[in-house]
Amino acid sequence: KMNIIIVKDSSEGGKKASKLFYDACANGAKVFGLATGSTPVTTYQHLVKSKIDFSKCISINLDEYVGLKPTDEQSYRYYMEKNLFEFKPFKRSYLPQGDAANAEEEVKRYDKVIADNPIDLQLLGIGRNGHIGFNEPGSSFDLTTHKVALTPSTIAANARFFEDEEDVPKYAYSMGIGSIMKSKSIILEAFGDNKADAVAKMIEGPVTEECPASVLQKHSNVTVIVDEAAAANLK
Ligand code: F6R
């Protein structure tokens, strides 16, 4: 059963999520799965202001664009440095390496990272089409780390971060749904009315690969933090 927390706005949501991180840490959690994008920004802001100490912890991010160097300002590595790691360093922080020479080896390396460091708490956002990580509608629930072709709607949604839609990468490395489902606990955040449809399908719709996030109905420890706008289509 999903635990659903409805908050007023993303700031209150981020505060709630950061408190859950804090509690997990106090209870011995050592490996944190992290996300990028606009949704977790307030969570990282609250974590940065908190007394939490990640220096003995490990972080493993969900995904990274193929082709970008870690120093590229649009890379997820860069985002993580600027939003969290520069202020709250981890013992080790893993992301897929966007500029890895060999995609096949890179996804294998990343699967080993996850196998060696089972995730205690995974933070997720959700795409308007119900994607989690870069697992787009139709992707198999069994997948581990893989290289994905981004859908036109995801490319268009990401275009706001790039000068030109042409510059938006067309591929990404992503943890698979199979990897995500292995984490002991999950927090999914969704803020804003453009997520309302995906949130309703995730929570109340059928469990189907057409809405990747619906798989979370089958996980035993999921907390969904939504603002009122994103909760608007729930019954
Ligand atoms: C990012 C990620 C994506 C985002 C989703 C929502 O690491 O895995 O699944 O969580 O695309 O993005 P925002 O938060 O920008 O609306």
Residue 161: predicted pLDDT = 83
Instruction: Give yes or no for a contact between 7 and 95, defined as CB atoms under 8 angstroms apart.
Output: no
The answer as to CATH 3.40.225.10 being correct for domain 3-227 is: no
Beta bridge partners, 31, equal: 58
- H helices present in the chain, as ranges: 10-26, 41-49, 76-80, 103-116, 152-158, 177-181, 196-204
Q: What type of residue is 138?
A: G
CA–centroid distance, residue 10 to ligand 1 (Å): 14
Give catalytic status of residue 136 as yes or no: yes
Average pLDDT over residues 40-44: 98
pTM of the full predicted structure? 0.96
Using CA atoms, how far apart are residues 231 and 235, in angstroms rounded to an integer? 9
106 is catalytic: no
Output 191 or 160, whichever has higher pLDDT. 191
pLDDT at 80 > cutoff 90: yes
The string of pLDDT tens digits covering residues 102-148 is 999 999 999 999 999 999 999 999 999 999 999 999 999 999 999 99
The pLDDT confidence band at residue 160, using thresholds 50, 70 and 90, is confident
Closest C-alpha to 202, from 188, 191, 181: 188
List 63, 120, 189, 227, catalytic entry: 63
- Give the residue among 141, 151, 198, 195 at the shortest CA–CA distance from 172: 151
Strands (E), 87-168: 92-94, 121-124, 146-149
| Residue-level pLDDT at 164 | 86
Catalytic residue, candidates 83, 117, 129, 158: 129
Q: Which residues contact 18 (CB under 8 A, 6 or more apart)?
A: 43, 46, 47, 50, 52
Per DSSP, the three-state class of 3 is strand
Does the Cβ of 38 fall within 6 Å of ligand 1? Answer: yes
| Nearest CA residue ID for atom 11, ligand 1 | 127
Residue listed under structure tokens 């013992």: 91
Q: What ipTM does this complex have?
A: 0.98
- pLDDT per residue over 68-77, tens digit each? 999 999 999 9
pLDDT at residue 154 in the model: 81
131 CB within 6 A, ligand 1: yes
Q: For strands 92-94 and 185-190, give the pairing.
A: unpaired
Q: What share of the chain is helix, strand, coil (3-state, %, to 5)?
A: 35, 20, 45
* pLDDT over 90 (residue 153): no
Closest Cα partner for 176 from 210, 126, 142, 208? Answer: 142
Domain ranges of the chain: 3-227
- Report whether pLDDT(60) > 90: yes
CA 16 to chain centre: 16
> What average pLDDT does this structure show over 53-67?
97
Judged by DSSP in three states, 200 sits in: helix
pLDDT on residue 1: 79
pLDDT band at 82 (very low <50, low <70, confident <90, very high): very high
